[in-house]
A and B are shown apart, each in its own frame.
Chain A
């Protein structure tokens, strides 16, 4: 029982990060129909910023906001440099464009920094636990969960209450109609990339705090988790992305602690295979967004 509670907290902690990443991916999918396989690069780039600040002796309290700002800026830059040129292109082109960005950013760091892993210290409190009865819980997990809930709440508020949120939701529903109704596509898309970068930045802070390192390929894992979570939830559904993130986090932790020893090291593979099976039977994800094609 205690084990289960610990697993749940651990799973929700991971799931929070995935949910933030997935939400950012779903927001962009909404306005551009693009599955952003370059989303993890926001974490790669800000990871190097974090490393550089760390070796310059800056504390995490300053690194954290810098990471978030950096992710927002990089997100907008990537949109301007790459994605804006393929707006409205075929799905095949969009998919490969985002993979292209992923590979280019990775190669840039290989070329100009180094292939080796750059480590930095995690914050001191990260491994601390506190006990409730006989259950001991990581403070870090609780912080991640609480901050994520706060951020999700604020995002929901922005989406529900502001003109930008309305435009974004309208665009996600039907981009062409939204444009006809006077939604400025440039502004909405840039806004979507900023929001997406912001969410990735917050997720990135947690990711980097836990990893304590970065490398040219560091963005690949968070990218995959985010994309998978967004897909599990049903691309285009913002609510689905968040649910998908938490579901993925819980599934990982529960599988890891319950798989027999010889297979436990294959957890990521097993999770991936399970997701593939999910898509075989529900290619539209858990939450169905009706995008019926007009014929």
Chain B
């Protein structure tokens, strides 16, 4: 227990504090070394850091590339400026502001609270839209929807002159009314870092990351990615909006281009250079890009005299010129995408590194799982399932049933419809006809994640792990879903399952680093962590040696017994299936051609002919 608290709360909190101290301390040291001229640069960097942390919460955890976050910044920035600028000054620019806003003045704090509130409310609607569009990692539709937000706010900022002061004038604070102290920035930065680190380690954060790694596998583990993405979006927008208020308040004015493409590019480059999946990486990006931009800006304007480099001649003239800092940003984005798309630090976090070294608590190999907890009687029943793929009939009125505690095999040559049958029963393919359910509960048109929560959990033929998460985190995702949605079941411990699958030595390795056999075993452990009533295994031994297959048979048996699940296992390997199953269904060309004990199936002439073709006795 201590261990989890340390990993997910105590160390992340200290990590956030450490990151805060390094960033702020570094800024102060730099200012002390260079002099007062560096103050604005450091202030801007700190505000950019808040902004990037805000972006990271959404983009980093969900993998959805949003171009709209700076649009939320524009909304909050304008709301803040309109509410906080004193009426005398506003009257000269936006005399006809709607709703009498030209006469309103709130304190900066109150104005910021309202501005953030407005942005978050709009984010709810955008989030619903994104959810409806099925946003997932790398989805273009999500990028375009968010890009639309950026453009629409920009056009409104230009054209709604009664509120925004238009393209030229914009809105500005009176001199002396702007942010005079850095304390608000410090407070917001620390708060943002704490929130971001805690979120990444939280249940919601982990489930979002799982969906980022593999949307379909996450759904199959009972995760509804849309919910987690919405949570991430709201936190993220709240921070971005706060940063926007700070930016407007510290610079003292806002125009339409203040929160548009240029700033979107800057913050995105900062996010990806260091590593978008972690806060440590994102902050490294902020520092590197701030420094790089400052250096290239100076090189661009003062040319080769800068740093006393004494460079002269044609090459210097070609490279050191105005615009160098713009091209630096573009090249940084391009270069990192080509050479190191996951950034310098990837998802490395300083607090997790410290935890692995100094974390306290028990980390010894757990006791083996006790065999057979009370089996909850239940029947998975499918009746007359048919599937048409645009004229091709993959499945023709297939019926089967399986009871808890029983291992049922499903066998057939390639293309017989085995995977289609599993896809139907896990909600990934809608049947054209027929229905299925557990006991008397019909589940025919339920979403995959609903089916998983109802107790039908699958593995995949072509391995779908959450590849950048560790072995333990993979199993934890399922366990954390089960904690809520399978609360009434006896659930095996995460560590015990990992040990059971023979992965104890690999528990802190990334899933992507596992070899093939271990990956298969991890899929099995992850599915078992959902504590399913029925476990559907799609070719669990494909690509394994005979010895590994035999070991797998034992593992499947034992796991099923410990969680009290019925198992439906698919394979085209007759030996494996007959070795593991209590009962077998044989499928050929979309039809169930035989059912019986392993001996009966092996002796069945139709099965033999399906397998061996014309060579078998007819």
Output the nearest chain A residue to B146 by Cβ-Cβ distance.
A276
Interchain CB contact under 8 A, B326 and A107: yes
**A92 proximal to B (CB < 8 A):** yes
- Of B148, B265, B322, B462, which one neighbours A103 at CB under 8 angstroms? B265
A86 CB contacts on chain B under 8 angstroms = 337-338, 341
- Pair B156/A266 contact, Cβ less than 8 Å: yes
A103-B330, A111-B326, A276-B129 known; A92-B145 Cβ under 8 A: no
Cα A103 to Cα B270 in complex, Å, equals 15
Cross-interface CB contact of B132 among A35, A95, A266, A280, cutoff 8 Å: A280
Residues B337 and A93 in contact, CB atoms below 8 Å apart: yes
A295-B428 in contact (CB<8A): yes
- Cβ A108 vs Cβ B327 within 8 A: yes
Min CB gap A241→B, angstroms = 14
Chain A residues positioned under 8 Å from B322 (CB to CB): 111
Contact of A100 among B138, B323, B337, B423 (CB under 8 A): B337
Q: Are A91 and B341 in contact (CB under 8 A)?
A: no
Structural contact, A228 and B144, CB atoms closer than 8 A: yes
Fill in one digit per residue for B3-47: 1 if any A CB lies within 8 Å of its CB, else 0: 000000000000000000000000000000000000000000000
Tell me, yes or no, whether A148 is within 8 Å of chain B by CB: no
Instruction: Return chain A residues, CB-CB under 8 Å to B132.
Output: 280-281
Whether B133 pairs with A279 at a CB distance below 8 angstroms is yes
Q: How far is the CA of A112 from the CA of B331 in the complex (A)?
A: 16
Residues of the A chain whose Cβ atoms lie less than 8 Å from the Cβ of B134: 283
Residue of A nearest to B389 (CB): A292
Q: Mark B410-436, 1 if CB is under 8 A from A, else 0.
A: 000000000100010000100000000
Please measure, in the bound complex, the distance between the C-alpha atom of A86 and the C-alpha atom of B138, giving whole angstroms. Answer: 14
Residue on A nearest B321 in the bound complex, by CB: A111
Given contacts A82-B334, A272-B151, contact A93 B423 (CB under 8 A): no
Within 8 A of A (CB), among B317-344: 321-324, 326-327, 329-331, 333-334, 337-338, 341
Q: Does A231 contact B (CB under 8 A)?
A: yes
Residue in A96, A106, A266 whose beta carbon sits within 8 Å of that of B65 in the complex:
A96
Chain B residues near A94 (CB-CB < 8 A)? 138
Q: How far is the CA of A231 from the CA of B337 in the complex (A)?
A: 23
Take A35-B140, A279-B141 as given contacts and tell me if A95 and B65 are in contact as well, using a CB distance cutoff of 8 Å: yes
In chain B, positions 128-167 with a C-beta closer than 8 Å to chain A are 129-130, 132-134, 137-141, 143-145, 147-149, 151-152, 154-156, 159
Contact status B148-A272, CB under 8 Å: yes
A17 at the A/B interface (Cβ < 8 Å)?
no
Nearest B-chain residue to A269, judged by Cβ: B155
With A276-B149, A280-B132 already in contact, the answer to whether A82 and B338 are too (CB < 8 A) is: yes
Hey, what's the 0/1 contact readout for A226-270 against B, CB within 8 Å counting as 1? 011001000100000000000000000000000000000110110
Distance in angstroms between the alpha carbons of A95 and B334 in the assembled complex: 11
* B137-A97 in contact (CB<8A): no
Indicate the member of A91, A101, A265, A277 with the most B CB atoms within 10 Å: A91
B159-A266 in contact (CB<8A) = yes
A213 CB to closest chain B CB, in angstroms? 19
Q: When the two chains form the complex, which single residue of A89, A266, A276, A281 contacts B148, counting CB atoms closer than 8 Å?
A: A276
- Which residues of chain A are near B321, meaning CB under 8 Å? 111-112
Q: Is the interface of A mostly helix, strand, loop or mixed?
A: helix
Q: Is the pair A265, B159 in contact by a Cβ cutoff of 8 Å? A: yes
Q: Which residue of B lies closest to A99 (CB)?
A: B333
**Chain B, 102-138, CB within 8 A of any chain A CB:** 129-130, 132-134, 137-138
Q: Which residues of B contact A293 (CB under 8 A)?
A: 216
CA distance A82 to B423 in the complex (A): 39
Do the beta carbons of A95 and B143 come within 8 Å of each other?
A: yes
Beta-carbon nearest neighbor of B325 in chain A? A107
B329 pairs with A280, CB closer than 8 A: no
- Please indicate the chain B residues that have their CB under 8 angstroms from the CB of A272 in the complex: 147-148, 151-152
CA distance A52 to B203 in the complex (A): 59
Question: Known contacts being A269-B152, A279-B133, is A295 close to B462, with CB within 8 Å?
Answer: yes
The answer, among B144, B145, B334, for a CB contact under 8 Å with A101, is B334
Does B598 sit within 8 A of A, measured CB to CB? no
A-side contacts of B138, CB under 8 Å: 90-92, 94-95
Q: Which of A91, A112, A228, A283 has the most CB of B within 10 A?
A: A283
Please determine whether A280 and B323 come into contact, CB atoms closer than 8 angstroms.
no
Interface string of A100-123 (1 = CB under 8 A from B): 110110111011100000000000
Question: Is there contact, CB below 8 Å, between B326 and A110?
Answer: yes
Residue A294 at the B interface, CB < 8 A?
yes
Task: Find chain B residues with CB under 8 A from A166 CB.
Answer: none
* Separation of A227 and B134 alpha carbons in the complex (Å): 19
Which residues does chain A contribute within 8 Å of B149, judged by CB atoms? 276
Interchain CB contact (< 8 A) of B333 among A96, A284, A294: A96
B144 near A91 with CB under 8 A, answer no
Q: How far is the CB of B248 from chain A (nearest CB, A)?
A: 22
Chain A CB count within 10 A is highest, among B133, B140, B330, B331, for B140
**Chain B residue contacts of A269, Cβ below 8 A:** 151-152, 154-156, 159
**Does chain B have a CB within 8 A of A273?**
yes
Given A228-B144, A283-B134: A96 in contact with B337 (beta carbons within 8 A): yes
| Pair B133/A280 contact, Cβ less than 8 Å | yes
- Whether the pair B333, A100 counts as a contact (CB closer than 8 A) is yes
Q: B530 within 8 Å of A by Cβ?
A: no
Contact A295 B337 (CB under 8 A): no
B268 lies within 8 A of chain A by Cβ: yes
Give complex CA distance A292, B149 in Å. 29
Mask, B34-76, CB within 8 Å of A = 1, is 0000000000000000000000000000010100000000000
Q: Which residue of A lies closest to B324 (CB)?
A: A111
Taking CB atoms, residues of chain B closer than 8 Å to A100 are 330-331, 333-334, 337
Interface centre among A101, A107, A227, A276 (most CB of B within 10 A): A276
A208 to nearest B CB, angstroms? 22
Q: A260 to B102: give the CA distance in the assembly, Å.
A: 26
List which A213-228 residues lie within 8 A (CB) of chain B: 227-228
B333 contacts A283, CB within 8 Å?
no
Q: Decide if A125 is an interface residue (CB 8 Å cutoff).
A: no
- C-beta contact mask, B161-192 vs A, less than 8 Å → 1, else 0? 00000000000000000000000000000000
Tell me if B144 and A295 are in contact (CB < 8 A).
no
User: Could you tell me the distance in whole angstroms from the C-beta of B76 to the nearest C-beta in chain A?
Assistant: 19
Shortest distance from the beta carbon of A274 to any chain B beta carbon, whole Å: 9
The reply to whether A92 and B137 contact each other, CB–CB distance below 8 Å, is yes
Q: Is B272 an interface residue (CB 8 A)?
A: yes
**Cβ–Cβ contact A275 & B338, under 8 A:** no
Assembled-state Cα–Cα distance A216/B132 (Å): 36
What would be 5 A-B contacts, judged by CB atoms less than 8 Å apart? A96-B341, A104-B330, A110-B323, A111-B326, A279-B144
- Interface residues of chain A, those whose CB is within 8 Å of chain B, are 35, 82, 85-86, 89-97, 99-101, 103-104, 106-108, 110-112, 227-228, 231, 235, 265-266, 268-269, 272-273, 275-277, 279-281, 283-284, 293-295
Supplied contacts A266-B159, A283-B141, A295-B460, 18 more A-B pairs, CB within 8 Å? A35-B140, A86-B341, A89-B337, A90-B341, A92-B65, A96-B268, A96-B333, A100-B334, A103-B265, A104-B330, A106-B326, A272-B152, A275-B144, A276-B149, A279-B133, A280-B145, A283-B134, A295-B464
The 3 closest A-B pairs by CB, nearest first: A91-B138, A111-B323, A100-B334
